[in-house]
Chain A
Amino acid sequence: MATGFLTDTTVCIGCKACEVACKQWNQLPADGYELTGDSYDNTKQLSGTTWRHVAFIENPKKRRLTGDVDLVALAEEVTEQLPGGAELDALGRWAFMSDVCKHCVEAPCQQACPTGAIIRNEFDNVYIQPDICNGCGYCVPACPYGVITQVPHDGRAFKCTLCYDRQRDGLEPACAKACPTNSIMFGEVEELEQIAEERVQDLHDKGYTQAYVWGTPEVGGTGGIKGNHSKFILMDEPEVYNLPRHPYLPQEKVKGGTIASMIAAGVLGAVVALAFRD
């Protein structure tokens, strides 16, 4: 049984309850009190001490609401024919996304880890064993999503554990529990895939044709990663959310590189041998 997240960004309200719940449950230290000026996002990114991060994307392309608009009708998701030709796209004006470890099917960090500290646990989540990690930091540039970092004063690498401890006690992860709009859903991957498909279909039917699932092998997760256990329903291009369009598995070419090196070693050996001829 594989568990994972489905983060439906269309209903995220940017409350950051997931960030707080994650920090609190996992007893993660604060990241300082920097004011970035980047919208309402002062967290900036995922790191070894931030395992949920809410991105705030302001999308001023969609025009503001003008004229006499029936707000009740809007709330009931009637988007067409607004007075004065105005467009109100509540989903487009603000985009929030609660980012998290993608728990790749073929995880680059796990393949990179030389100590075997990074494993797949019984829930098929990618988990770092903190008693094994020796802080070599090789998983950090291996991650195609920039999720893992080393925690400076600790030395080891950390990331989302998908609340391994809570799952073992039959509880859902802290972020999913705290999410007030059910933007963060937790469950079995297959079940979540079905929910995602239905939700995207629903959004398409309502006219939001740009909605799609990110983290399937088709979209995001090509190149050997084979998809993610943490999926997202997005409304814009992946880059807008700081996500790569086609991430790939960095270890895919280790074999090829090694063969190329062997050939080079043979050639260089021959060159040195030739140099001995007077």
Chain B
Amino acid sequence: MSETTREGVQQSNGRVETSHHPETDPQRKDKNYYGIPPIKHAHWTWQIPVYFWIGGLGAGVHLFSTVAQLLGHRDEALTRTSRYTVLATMLISPVLLIWDLGRPERFYNMLRIIKLRSPMSTQSWSVFAYGNLGGLIAARQAAEDGLLGRDNFLVRLVKLIPARFLSLVALPVGLNVGSNTGNLISATSVPIWARNWLFMGPMFLTSGLSTAPSWLSLVLHLTRSGEEKTLRTLHRAEKATLVIEAGLIGASLVRMSKWSKPLFSREVAPLFVGGTLLGGITAPMALLFGKESRQKSILASVLALAGGLAFRFAIIKGGRISADDPEAYFTFASEANAPQPEDKI
């Protein structure tokens, strides 16, 4: 060994480049174990964000039609669209959810117990109850629409279903389907989700509710049905919920503070900034606040719906990046950054 090499080895001894210890390795400021994530991310694939979107839509649509019912606003087209939409969303949702299970054939174990502390448990029960209620209500609608045949025993039986009463019963359940998804992801160890426990549920509910009038007005416009007043109301509701959604996203970003970084990462920014903030909120708002026309309304609806889907994907993908970042988790799980039992908000 030459003298210079020996010297080099001796000088570098204590600061070997492959060595881990962060305090002595000048290239590494962060403290962690070879960059291996200290927590594991959720395995959830595309089915889960799509379910979040569809479930939120089903909840929002029902809220809209039930409020219309309560206010005595009767519009056959609105009621019909809303009831069939709820049925469709609640037929698709369990398929997506069961598909995502590691052992799909054991899906029924979800209804084995009720656990109020587990949002996954309350969510399963809510989807179960809401799906059944929505099914009964849609059956009554189908009977009235003559889809079940004319005046046979089945039709007479189905027409006994008190659809308007069941709509009221289903309202809180449906709202839970829409908001509980947010609480579900915030009740984890993933920094970006857990930090935002206060606004996650409201944000998901509002996003679902902003897609609902978009969907309803889209269907009514495309089928050229629905009363003028309904469409005006839908546009007003769309604008109002988009504004509230934008406000809640802003509040969430403040609350997530530095842990919101994954939303602006290269992978997620197109979905979050492009798809949600610009495409899903700003663009439809610009279209809706201008002079109203059918084409513009249809375009705004499509954009808002796509924005809602992009938003769910952005949040789920952002959570994966957040969970895989040791620095994010360690700063989060130190001092008072993580939510503490004594925290009120």
Contact = CB atoms under 8 A, between A and B. Distances in A.
B341 A224 contact: yes
Contacts of B118: 111-114, 138, 251, 254
B38 A140 contact: no
Tell me which of B32, B103, B116, B326 has the highest count of chain A C-beta atoms within 10 A of its own C-beta: B103
Contacts of A148: 40
A273 B31 CA distance: 53
Interface stretch (A31-39, A160-168, A198-206): A31-39
A271 B339 contact: no
A58 B20 contact: yes
Contact of B120 (A114, A156, A268, A278): A114
B24 A61 contact: yes
A248 B333 CA distance: 7
A116 B101 CA distance: 15
Contacts of B73: 276
Majority secondary structure of chain A interface residues (helix, strand, loop or mixed): loop
Contacts of B287: none
Contacts of B120: 112-114, 136, 138
Interface in A128-144: 132-138, 140-144
Contacts of A59: 19, 21, 24
B252 to A, nearest CB: 12
Tell me which of A132, A156, A265 has the highest count of chain B C-beta atoms within 10 A of its own C-beta: A265
Nearest to B340: A223
A107 to B, nearest CB: 11
Given A108-B189, A244-B334, A275-B236, A137 B340 contact: no
Interface in A183-224: 222-224
A47 B36 CA distance: 12
Nearest to A45: B36
Interface string A142-166: 1111101110001111000000000
Interface stretch (B83-91, B156-164, B174-182, B218-226): B174-182
A157 B42 CA distance: 12
A188 to B, nearest CB: 27
B121 A114 contact: yes
B175 A58 contact: no
Interface string B284-311: 0000000000000000000000000000
B38 A260 contact: no
Contact of A144 (B14, B199, B333, B343): B333
A248 B340 CA distance: 7
Interface string A75-116: 000000000000000000000000000000000100111111
Nearest to A132: B109
B182 A242 contact: no
Contacts of B109: 115-117, 132-134
Contacts of A263: 202
B209 interface: yes
A122 interface: no
A150 B43 contact: yes
Contact of B334 (A141, A150, A246): A246
A146 B182 contact: no
Contacts, number: 282
A272 interface: yes
Given A251-B117, A276-B68, A136 B233 contact: no
A19 to B, nearest CB: 16
Size bracket of the B interface: 35 or more
Contacts of B333: 144, 244-248
Contacts of A143: 39-40, 189
A260 B335 contact: no
Interface stretch (B129-137, B146-154, B190-198, B262-270): B190-198
Contacts of A268: 63, 205-206, 209, 241, 244
B240 interface: yes
Interface string B184-219: 101111100010011111100110010000000000
Interface string A45-64: 10100000001011111011
Interface string B96-132: 0000111110110110110111111101100000000
B198 A250 contact: no
Given A61-B21, A132-B109, A156-B102, A257 B182 contact: yes
Interface in B31-55: 31-34, 36-44
A67 interface: no
B196 to A, nearest CB: 9
By Cβ-Cβ distance, the 4 closest A-B pairs, closest first, are A135-B102, A155-B102, A261-B201, A264-B202
Interface of B: 13-16, 18-24, 31-34, 36-44, 63-64, 67-68, 70-71, 73, 100-104, 106-107, 109-110, 112-113, 115-121, 123-124, 172, 175-176, 179-180, 182-184, 186-190, 194, 197-202, 205-206, 209, 229, 232-234, 236-237, 240-241, 244, 319, 323, 326, 329-330, 333-335, 338-341, 343-345
6 contacts: A38-B20, A136-B102, A138-B42, A247-B333, A254-B118, A264-B179
Given A137-B43, A157-B102, A275-B236, 6 more contacts: A250-B188, A253-B187, A254-B119, A265-B172, A271-B237, A271-B241
Interface of A: 36-39, 41, 44-45, 47, 55, 57-61, 63-64, 108, 111-117, 132-138, 140-146, 148-150, 154-157, 222-224, 237, 239-254, 256-258, 260-261, 263-265, 267-269, 271-276, 278
